[in-house]
Amino acid sequence: MDSNAIFQILINEIRSIIPELEDHPIARGDAMADLGVNSMERGDILVSTLEAIELEVPMTQLFGPRNLGELADLIHAKSAQQ
């Protein structure tokens, strides 16, 4: 699974948690906070994404990315290590 596929999963999870973003375009350069996703929701989206790709990694290792593209890249890098 490449970074773009993970990015698509992130988008699906965002839209399932915040249905108002269903028709809103989401790009790799977007940050979840800028899309109006609060920190609890960001946590849920991350947990669901990790579940979807069956990746077991401490959440704190996924801290730092400034946008969804960077987050997808980081998750991809972590999954490649396993």
Partner 1 sequence: MSDNIGIEAMNLYGGRASLDVHALCKYRGLEVARFENLLMDEKTIALPYEDPVSFAANAAKPLIDQMSKEDKSRIEMVICCTESGIDFGKSISTYVHDLLSLPSNCRLFEIKQACYSGAAGLQMAVNFLLSGTSPGAKVLVITTDISRFALDDIEAVQEWAYSEPTSGAGAVAMIVSDTPHIFSIDPGAYGNHAFEVMDTCRPGPDTEAGDADLSLMAYLDCCNGAYKDYARRVEGADFRESFGYLCFHTPFGGMVKGAHRHLMRKLYKADMAVIDADFERRLTPSIAYGKHLGNTAGGSIFVALAGTLDTVELTEPVRVGLFSYGSGCCSEFFSGVITPHGQKVLKAMNIAEHLQQRYKLSIDQYEMLLKGEHTLRFGTRDAVFDHDIIEGLVPEGGANNWLVLDSVNSYHRTYRWV
Which residues lie near partner 1 (CB under 8 A)? Answer: 38-40, 42-44, 46-47, 51, 58-60, 62-63
Q: How far is the CB of 15 from partner 1 (least distance, A)?
A: 17
Of 34 and 51, which has the nearer Cβ to partner 1?
A: 51
- Annotate 20-44 with b (16+ C-beta within 10 A) or e (fewer): ebeeeebebebebeebebeeebbeb
Tokens of 16: 């399932």
CB of residue 63 to partner 1, shortest distance in Å = 5
Cβ proximity to partner 1, 2 vs 55, nearer residue: 55
Q: Which two tokens stand for residue 50?
A: 């990790």
